Structure 1
Amino acid sequence: MKKLPEILAPAGDTQSFLAALAAGADAVYVGMKHFSARMQADNFSVKELARMVELARREDRKVYIALNSMLKPTDPAAAGRLIRRLARGVQPHALIMQDLGAVEMARQAGFEGEIHLSTLANITHPAALHAARRMGADRVILPRELDIDEVRQCNDACPEGLDLELFVHGALCYCVSGRCYWSSYMGGKSGLRGRCVQPCRRVYKQKSREGRYFSCLDLSLDVLARNLLDMENLSSWKIEGRKKGPHYVFYTVTAYRMLRDNPGDPSVRKQAEDLLKQALSRPTTHARFLPQRQHPVTAPNDSTSSGMLVGKLARDKKGALEFKPRMELQPQDFLRVGFEDDPWHRTVRVTRRVPKGGAFTLPHAKGRPPAAGTPVFLIDRREKDLVDLLRRWEGRLADVRGGSETSVDFEPVLPVRLDKPGKGFTVLLHGSIPKGRRGGREGGVVDGLWLSPRTAEVSRTLVSRYSWWLPPVIWPNEEDQWKRLITQVLRNGARHFVLGAPWQMELFPENAKIAPVAGPFCNVANPAALAVLERMGFRGAIVSPELSGEEVLSLPSMSPLPLGVVLSGYWPMGVTRNPLQPLKQGEPFLSPKREPFWARRYGQNTWIFPGWPLDITAHQDELKAAGYTIFVHMKEQPPREVPEPSRSSSFNWDLTLL
């Protein structure tokens, strides 16, 4: 009989961790003060984690620690020391990672627990699972964009020794995980490093229409989750929410445990649904889960703010701001006033009971006061029963001594620098087959094309002259198509390929005579990751354009591979599988600061671009002197309706990437 999947709960603070255990979670995932993809959560120190893991082991539960941040060039040593401290003093059951360099540091630091590859690692199609397993991964966390048929494809293709994890509840991102640069491009706060400021949740405008077009509802598979129970390799149901409080954690864990354990009981199903409605999430959606009946992931004209709407502000007779709650408010309830991008946005703690329909007067605060009509949301609460339960679990935690802090010695083994990086060349990466060009490798210039079904339009005699680029994301239902395309261009003489993810190596026939390059969407940013790529068979890498200039210039001195860099062109803010509607392709849309953006669809994905290009060509001589040999110009042409750019961006060249 198949073992039931674990219920995996989030915890961003101690109270939420205890709430997860109290609700019956089989495992809890937490973050640390460093190298976490949710740096806005409170997160934990090594000493705190040691006590938590020991308590979990006493209760026959598991703890997974998220170290799923992109590592910068100088990060591997610090990451390795931290992992060694965890291995010796905490011994978590697993580490969650996105960066190949972090996986390498875990191996070198002697970590003996499981390695789980994050959604940020972008393992999106069945063949990629085999590459992940060969790298030493024990689990892959699947993307949220898959429908149930695609999840089943991955389950059926899962190699021995690997299992799968799937999100069943929690926040959705509009763009594909690991393929969103929106926050970073707009100011150096990278989602790949846990610093996303969520510019997608703001109001955008296209002509006379405006709304929160990219602000997603929360995923909730609720009763549909029972359809996952027969998948033998899907071993974990994951709940998102490391920034949420214990109320949310307790209610969601309890609900999904009930749904898992009693899939055929309608009365239990109703109780679980009621609990999820009280969990203080955003409004929810089944998203793409049912392929024949997909649900919208956004509601542009409605609230997609987290929490339960409890009222709207109005002025009383004395001019003070108040609201009449639609439900009873209890002491220690936590309220949010307005949306996160409102200038008056703030949170407020309730200090006394307020009956339904009573009056709650908003305390005075510095800064701009909210406007009348501003919504107020209940985002966390402390019911007496839950408070009492957590107090008992606090007592159990207090009985745990935990390990003592110990210093460790760790010096990473990093690759030897490539002595002769080779002759440099420039790639002109065209968004479509260029007219009037015959593909060339003359004068140090190579024409690049995105591999697509239109490849058939390229003459067989010219195929070998192009650099062929695979997309940043490939989905399960198109994997066979990509294998056929690759076989076709290989047969016609193609040899130079740039991959959108390391795992795309699995799409090539065994012993194919190619010299693959890891493209810029592989998010390569440190020497340890470059060492892994070299072992995988890559012959070059184009570094992440997110890095600062200082970091970009430092990498060649640490690299075993020839390196490239994107010099200019329209770099996408993000890639999404979600429909663009009601916005229209080809028409510009504006941010709250009237910055222009535009979108273009390629296959199943839509690319969202800023209205101004990346341009660091002024630094080309510095880059050559540092050792770069591949220089990419992305020749993506904006639609005619998009205004001529009045500026360009150096991305994070002059910033410190957070």
Structure 2
Amino acid sequence: MRNKSKKNKDPMELLAPAGSFPAFEAALEAGADAVYVGAPGFNARALSRDFTFAEIGSMIRQAHKQGVKLYIAMNSLVKEAELPAALEALSCFESLRPDALIIQDLGLLYLARTWFSDLPLHASTLMSVHNSLGAEELTKLGFERVVLARELTIEEIGAVHQKTGAELEVFIHGAMCFSYSGLCLFSSLHGGKSSLRGQCVQPCRRHYSWQDPGKQGGRGVQYKGGNKGTRKKQTGSSAGYLFSMNDLCGIDMLPEMRAAGVRCLKIEGRLKSAQYVANTVAAYRMALDSLDEPDGVQEKVLQKAHQLLDDAMGRKRSSGYLLSEKPGEAITPSQSGNSGRMLGRVKGIQEERSREGKNRITFQVILSAQVSEGDRLRLHDEQSGNRFSFTLRSLQVRGKRQKTAHAGQKAQLSFLVSRKEHVQRHFQGTLFKVDVGSRITAEKSGHKRRQKLSSHKIVPDMSKVDDILAQLAWKQGPVNFKSTDTLQGRQGKKKGGGRRPGRQEPSWWVAVAQLNDLRQRMPVRPARFLVPFNRENIQQLKQSAEKIRKYRSRIIWRLPAVLHEADLAWTQQEVEQLGQQGYARFSLGHCSQYGLFYPLIEGAESQQKYQLELYGNYTLNLLNSAALQATAHLGYQGALFSLETEEENLAAALHHYGQQNSQRRRQKEERDMPPKIQVGAYVYGHPSLFTARLDSTHFRYDQSFASPQEEYFTLEQQDGLTTAHAHLPFSLLGQQQELVQMGIDFLLLDLSKGVISREGVVTISNLLNQGQRTGKGTGKGKGGKQSTQIMRGNFAGTLV
């Protein structure tokens, strides 16, 4: 079905997803120009089964025979223990020669560009490229294509193309995250499953309720978020699916996308069925092939295309951000956001043990659409938010078993679940059809193909892998960080110059909300202050420059993770003015923001005076020693390690990074390596769980909302971004000594959310003094008194 016509002089590539062999073959049949699949173990979709390297090799050969490209999504963050497997994967792909790897991890970028330079790279949407600066800088880093964030309008996409000439890929259809991809910590910090590692539990799809003003949940430090002047008239219900985005559909905007310079149109859906892929790809193929036809022909084609999309069983569709930075139909709070075709409401179930050793679930429903045995269905429990997916095994209408039941009929449905699964007897919820029974035939075909390829093995070049690991000073096994040489020179000093064994004094960095906070009483002695780079603080500096001057050597200007295209010129101007005033330290929220400082760097080189210092925020998502090396090679003086890390991963990454630098010094390779960066740890604060662009009428800013599990959060809006913060603070204050012993150079105390009050300072001081003995629960202070509730994310557990 692929268009062979040469009418379209500058065709856009149609890129389809494939999470299974049936979906891959459906994409080829429906007319995809390219297909993307996940790398085994390293893709940002938690598939029930990854493709093997042999299967990927088979797909590459089949695709290339049909003139179709095949890309590999290796876009998961990599933990330190996974670096050897990542190198083996890169070695396998080097021999398989896919058309590109799609990545987000700066460590993978460093490994690929240093040792596997022939592999073409595409920057994943998880890198949150949202402006022309990002596209330009990532192109300079070696990415042949940039996948833009889904939050951009067509006008902004066009501006990125005009200013950079970068090859741009955009999502045109499929699921939308509420948060910018790459900036969501909700699933990880409140569940241990990282969206950046393909394990997202989709907290944005859950049911939440607004709380009465003033109600605070939990016993944490009282959170006083918000930004004066952002409140607006609130509408809508007090509860609903407040952050569940409708699906993106840009099929009506294809002419505008072409005019904006888009090179590739990407369909989301590696977890979707083969029928979804077939229908969606066919719809966009028809629309693309008719772009140069008369308006009347295009209109008829679009009608057929929309019918195909209706039959694909996706969610409710909207144009996303393509037409507006404040889309009015992005969320429907009254709808659950389930994909599939709704079949009806279910109230009450019957459960009994079956002979197969499972539980048989039976319920009745008045159908709103046709259903057949073998269809894949999903029950959504609206009380708990749980979802149960199953294959329909038994279908009865009026007491008689039937293969198919139709809309309007009252049917009795049955399915089997494992003994461990439990569906509440008083279940209330909705039933959806997510795939059709004909998929079973396709699955059998895919199973035969897997069996045929099961004996085929793609073997990495282990001599090359071992050589790279040796150059990285990487050794397998647990790290005893308390006995490593990273402790040398880190011991605190007694009066008189003696060393105090055991306890080490950390270097404290404190993040504040505004310049006036620098004069507030702090619970620690700050070596550095992080001040948000925004219009309010820049104006405050201009009005009281003399009062702030004494803090200048300790101020680090903290750039946001998101800089909208319209703000780039102002940002560039103010950065240069700060540099001219002697402010030399900046914290970058995105790796591409290095490009803002070229004028200062060039000026410093000519004058040999200005000593610029750049640091990376935790939003750079540095999770391994290779990512630390990448950051050093980019010219940073330091960076915060990922907030998502577990203790063992952090210790191993710091150990290997230190060993790499020591080894190169011993081998006298200092000229070829950048200086060792300072590595910091975020140890206290209310980090943004969601960072979104959407500003919806049903949002209640500065007001608490709660999950069904009675977790409490606050929604804020500031500087064009909507953020959510937990009432419980994230705290590793009880682990400050462990962190310093590991080799952490500085600890960040983030006081930028809420008011720096005496009460808050006292509470933080208590946490510093007593230490926390628990993870998420309530610790005990001296005398058995209840201590402040905190959350520690994954630090004491395991990051999935």
TM-score by length of 2: 0.76
Partner residue in 1 for 2:640: 542
Q: Where does residue 215 of structure 2 map in the other structure?
A: none
Partner of residue 324 from structure 1, selected from 366, 369, 372 = 366
Match 1:225 to one of 254, 259, 283: 254
Alignment deviations for residues 506-549 of structure 1 (CA, whole Å, 9 cap, x no partner): 12233434110111111111111122211211111110111011
Q: Which one of the candidate residues 101, 109, 113 is aligned to 1:107?
A: 113
3-state SS of 1:112 partner: coil
Partner of 1:74, secondary structure, is helix
1:453 maps to a residue whose letter is R
Q: Note if 1:119 corresponds to 2:125.
A: yes
Could you tell me which amino acid in structure 2 is paired with residue 117 of structure 1? A
Judged with a 3 Å threshold, the aligned counterparts in structure 2 of structure 1 residues 424 and 236 are, in CA distance, closer, same or farther, namely: same
2:378 is paired with a residue of what secondary structure? Answer: strand
Q: Secondary structure at the match of 2:372?
A: coil
CA shift, 1:267, in A, is: 0.6
- CA distance 1:534–1:328, change in 2 (3 Å): same
Alignment-derived partner of residue 357 in structure 1: 408
| Alpha-carbon shift at residue 292 of structure 1 (Å) | 7.8
Query: Where does 1:477-626 land on structure 2 (aligned, <5 Å)?
Result: 477-512=566-601, 513=610, 514-559=612-657, 560-579=676-695, 581-626=697-742
SS state at 1:247 partner: helix
TM-aligned CA deviation for residue 395 of structure 1: 9.8
What does residue range 240-259 of structure 1 map to in structure 2 within 5 Å?
240-259=268-287
Distance across 2 between alignment mates of 1:16 and 1:473: 35
Aligned-partner Cα distance in 1 for 2:682–2:449: 54
- Seen in structure 2, the aligned counterparts of structure 1 residues 548 and 344 have a Cα distance that, compared at 3 Å, is closer
Is the CA contact 1:525–1:547 (under 8 Å) kept in the aligned structure 2? yes
Aligned equivalents of 1:330, 1:3: Cα separation in 2 = 44
SS in 2 for 1:619: helix
**Residue 387 of structure 1, CA deviation:** 8.2
1:63–1:429 Cα change, 3 Å: same
Picking from 557, 577, 583, the partner of 1:468 is 557
Q: CA deviation at 1:595?
A: 1.4
**Residue 71 of structure 1 corresponds to which residue in structure 2?**
78
Answer with 1 or 2: which has the greater Rg: 2
**Paired position in structure 1 for 2:245:** 216
Aligned equivalent of 1:433: 515
Amino acid at match of 1:480: A
Contact preservation (8 Å) 1:580, 1:606: no
Q: CA, structure 1 residues 639+628, in 2 after alignment: closer, same or farther (shift >3 Å)?
A: closer
CA distance in 2 between counterparts of 1:103 and 1:334 reads 39
Q: Please give the residue correspondences for 1:49-198 in structure 2 after superposition, counting only pairs within 5 Å.
A: 49-88=56-95, 90-110=96-116, 112-159=118-165, 162-198=166-202
Cα drift, residue 165 of structure 1: 0.5
The aligned counterpart of 1:377 is: 432
Distance 1:613 1:534 in 2: 30
The gaps in structure 1 that reach 5 residues or longer are none
Say if 1:230 and 1:397 are closer, same or farther in 2 by CA, change over 3 A.
Answer: farther
Structure 2 segments unaligned to the other structure (5+ residues) = 1-7, 213-237, 352-360, 394-402, 475-484, 491-504, 602-609, 658-675, 764-786
Taking the aligned partners of 2:735 and 2:134, their CA distance within structure 1 comes to: 36
How far apart in 2 are the matches of 1:360 and 1:207? 39
Instruction: State how many pairs are aligned.
Output: 650
- Partners in 2 of 1:185 and 1:373 — Cα distance? 29
8 Å CA contact retained: 1:570, 1:609? yes
Alpha-carbon distance between aligned partners in 2 of 1:216 and 1:339, rounded to the nearest angstrom: 19
How is 1:10-21 mapped onto 2 (pairs within 5 angstroms)? Answer: 10-21=17-28
CA distance in 1, matches of 2:24, 2:755: 49
Deviates more, 1:148-157 or 1:387-396: 387-396
* CA displacement at 1:396 relative to structure 2: 9.9
Which residues of 2 match residues 443-458 of structure 1 at below 5 A?
Answer: 445-454=527-536, 455-458=538-541
Given the superposition, is the C-alpha separation of residues 312 and 435 from structure 1 closer, same or farther in structure 2, using an over 3 Å criterion? closer
Deviations 1:439-459 (A, max 9, x none): 99x965222201101212123
CA spacing shift, 1:539–1:315, aligned 2, 3 Å: closer
Specify whether residues 333 and 430 from structure 1 end up closer, same or farther in structure 2 by C-alpha distance, changes over 3 A only: same
Maintained 8 Å contact 1:285/1:295: no
Query: How far off its partner does 1:391 sit?
Result: 8.9
Give 1:316 deviation, angstroms: 11
Q: Is the 8 A contact 1:55 1:400 kept in 2?
A: no
Q: Is the 8 A contact 2:17 2:35 kept in 1?
A: yes
2:493 matched residue in structure 1: none
CA distance in 1, matches of 2:697, 2:112: 43
Report the Cα distance in structure 2 between the residues aligned to 1:60 and 1:586, rounded to whole angstroms: 54
Of 303, 306, 309, which residue of structure 1 is paired with 2:342?
A: 309
Q: Provide closer, same or farther for how the CA distance between residues 219 and 629 of structure 1 changes in structure 2, counting only shifts above 3 A.
A: same
| Residues 41 and 119 (structure 1), Cα distance of their counterparts in 2 relative to 1, 3 Å cut | farther
Structure-2 separation of matches of 1:99 and 1:276:
33
Q: Which moved more, 1:490-499 or 1:391-400?
A: 391-400
The 2-side partners of 1:156 and 1:320 are apart by 58
SS, match of residue 122 in structure 2: strand
Query: 1:83, 1:109 within 8 Å by CA — same for their partners in 2?
Result: no
Other-structure match for 2:222: none
Q: Report how far residue 475 of structure 1 moved.
A: 1.9
Q: Which has the higher helix share?
A: 2
Normalising by structure 1, what TM-score? Answer: 0.91
Q: Shift of the alpha carbon at 1:650?
A: 1.7
Aligned-residue offset at 1:268: 0.4
Structure 1 pair 564/621, CA: closer, same or farther in 2 (3 Å)?
same
Q: What SS does structure 1 have at the residue aligned with 2:414?
A: coil
Task: Describe the shift of the 1:424–1:149 C-alpha distance in structure 2 as closer, same or farther (beyond 3 A).
Answer: same
C-alpha separation in 1, matches of 2:410 and 2:753: 56
The 1:633/1:39 distance shift into structure 2, 3 A limit, reads same
Who is 2:228 aligned against?
none
* Alpha-carbon distance, 1:300 to partner: 1.1
Aligned-partner Cα distance in 1 for 2:90–2:196: 19
Separation in structure 1 between the aligned mates of residue 437 and residue 115 of structure 2, nearest angstrom: 41
Q: Cα offset for 1:34? A: 0.4
The separation in 2 between residues aligned to 1:648 and 1:317, in whole angstroms, is 41
1:158 is displaced (CA, Å) by 2.6
1:68 partner letter: N
Residue 302 (structure 2) pairs with residue 269 (structure 1)? yes
Q: Distance in 1 between matches of 2:529 and 2:651?
A: 25
Shift of 1:293: 7.4
In 2: Cα distance, 1:316 partner to 1:651 partner: 36
Whether the 8 Å CA contact 1:344–1:368 is kept in 2: the answer is: no
How far apart are the structure 2 equivalents of 1:393 and 1:653? 40
Q: Describe the SS at the equivalent of 2:599.
A: coil
- CA 1:596/1:394 → structure 2, altered by over 3 Å: closer, same or farther? closer
Shift of residue 311, structure 1, vs aligned partner: 1.7
Asked if structure 2 preserves the Cα contact closer than 8 Å seen for 1:51 and 1:403, the reply is no
Contact 1:8–1:27 at 8 Å: present in 2 too? Answer: yes
Q: Give the drift of 1:471.
A: 0.6
- Pick from 26, 29, 33 the counterpart of residue 22 of structure 1: 29
| CA–CA separation in structure 2 for the residues paired with 1:64 and 1:531 | 26
In 1, distance between residues paired with 2:252 and 2:107?
A: 39
Deviations 1:364-418 (A, max 9, x none): 65623464652111111245xx888999999999999996432421133656899
Work out the percentage of aligned pairs sharing the same amino acid. 26
1:103-131: CA deviation from partner (whole Å, max 9, x where unpaired): 22223453623201111112221012222
Q: Is the 8 A contact 2:683 2:749 kept in 1?
A: yes
